[in-house]
Structure 1
Amino acid sequence: MAPRTRKSERRTEALSRERIIEAAVELLDTAGEGGLTFRALTERLATGPGAIYWHVANKDELLDAATDAVVAAALATEPAGSPDSPRDALNAVALGLFDAIDEHPWLATQLATQFSRGPWKSVTPRILESIGRQVRALGVPERRWFTVATVLMHYILGAAGQNAVNGRAHGPGVNRDEFLGAVSTAWKELDPDDYPFTRAVADQMPGHDDREEFLAGIALILAGITAVPPPPRSHRARR
């Protein structure tokens, strides 16, 4: 039997780590962050803890790796329109993250944690790069790249996270149309002097498409890029 080369050892190690992360994602999806323990992971993988610790030092590293793996898969979504269109590519990035956050109940919290506590880790640059490349391709002036890209990033993650919360707040047995219809009825009964706008849009609540509304928000942001001039630089910024 030929001796194992260093290259093949690295490949085997990467595959072993991938399987550990895959199992971690499965546990997170079914049991949440509290259910992700090294004991549960060893049972799922039918291995000893030493084999896992060889690849992953602790739970924080495992959560980071699971988050990065899900985000990387989400960002690999192909555009529904033209692959050469920055807008179509940006919508693909947005919908990939939208669907991933909806599918994985733990993801929104982990993204918020990584953005606030570890923005230098892989997840934040990965998302920012995917959005920023399309911002640059749209012809946004370089001095506005950071502002436009981060506004889009915060909108995408915030709206997707809120949608996921809304979808799970009422449980699987709740009929969406009936729930939205009840909300619409309640809005129509509000005081017309205090809530004229809310009453006016009440009929638009039932039957709206969450994904279409989500993409409409991105379109509004992109429209504002050209419609709104950049704010003047402050004296402090010019120093």
Structure 2
Amino acid sequence: MKPKARTRRSEALSKERIVEAAIEILDTDGEETLTFRNLTAHLSTGSGAIYWHVADKHELLAAATDHVIARVMAEVVKEADPQGAIRTLAMGVFDAIDAHPWVGTQLSRNPWQHAVLRILEGVGGRIQALGVPGQDQFNVATALMSFILGIAGQYAASARFASSNTTRTEHLGAVAAKWEQLDPAEYPFVHQVAKILPEHDDRDQFLAGINLILAGIKSAL
């Protein structure tokens, strides 16, 4: 029995298990509930064992975000076609943020964290494979990164402003109603898109943007 107890304790106190537990808390109750007290209760351990692996909440959030993005990148490497890989990467990040809204907040909060470098390397490698000239690779890669991570900031902002008591359609419907109150002579386009805002599909809209960028890259080669 003693060896089994030691094995369970070792698994529970590994950094990977700590990160997985943090993700469970973040997904269930949100970032504000991720405290080391809640984490120790969740893992049935002491805070000292957690501090051995993770210095503070900021490091834990970064590790949790990197864990999620690493899973996205694992799917990207299976795609041989560079354009297909970029789509897989972009939609993987989109879906990860949709499933874990706190990831969007974290990605927009710290642009130099390791999770962002994973995305940059994934995008940059496929830009090279597409045959983009060396002097243009950085600009093209960062343009794509700006679009992909822009959705992270957008989702983070939406999460802050949307009420937990309203659905997405209700929230966007309220936004559209405010847009329709603007002067149509001054905001003709805003009035036009207000009609489709509540029911539009974020994922389809995001993929359309990625396809536009990829088409632009292809035409420039």
Q: TM-score range by the shorter chain?
A: 0.7 to 0.9
Q: Give 1:1-239 correspondences, 5 Å limit.
A: 16-77=14-75, 83-115=79-111, 119=112, 121-163=113-155, 165-166=157-158, 169-177=161-169, 180=172, 184=176, 187=179, 190-227=182-219
Secondary structure of the residue aligned to 1:75 is helix
Work out the CA distance in 1 between the residues paired with 2:65 and 2:145: 16
Query: TM-score normalised to the size of structure 2?
Result: 0.79
Secondary structure of the residue aligned to 2:132 is coil
Of the two, which has the highest radius of gyration? Answer: 1
Which structure dedicates a bigger proportion of its chain to helix? 2
The RMSD of aligned alpha carbons is: 3.1
Query: TM-score normalised to the size of structure 1?
Result: 0.74
Work out the CA distance in 2 between the residues paired with 1:24 and 1:202: 38
Work out the CA distance in 1 between the residues paired with 2:168 and 2:65: 29
Kept in 2, the 8 Å contact 1:25–1:66? The answer is yes
Residue correspondences, number = 213
- Relative to structure 1, is the Cα distance of residues 203 and 50 closer, same or farther in structure 2, using a 3 angstrom cutoff? closer
Kept in 2, the 8 Å contact 1:21–1:66? The answer is yes
Work out the CA distance in 1 between the residues paired with 2:166 and 2:174: 12
Work out the CA distance in 1 between the residues paired with 2:104 and 2:117: 16
- Relative to structure 1, is the Cα distance of residues 124 and 159 closer, same or farther in structure 2, using a 3 angstrom cutoff? closer
Structure 1 residue 221: Cα displacement: 1.7
Work out the CA distance in 2 between the residues paired with 1:180 and 1:60: 32
- Relative to structure 1, is the Cα distance of residues 174 and 49 closer, same or farther in structure 2, using a 3 angstrom cutoff? closer
Structure 1 residue 173: Cα displacement: 4.5
Higher normalized contact order (CA 8 Å, seq sep 6+, divided by chain length): 2
Query: What percent identity do the matched residue pairs reach?
Result: 54
Structure 1 residue 67: Cα displacement: 1.6
Ranges in structure 1 where 5+ consecutive residues have no aligned partner: 1-8, 230-239
Structure 1 residue 57: Cα displacement: 2.9
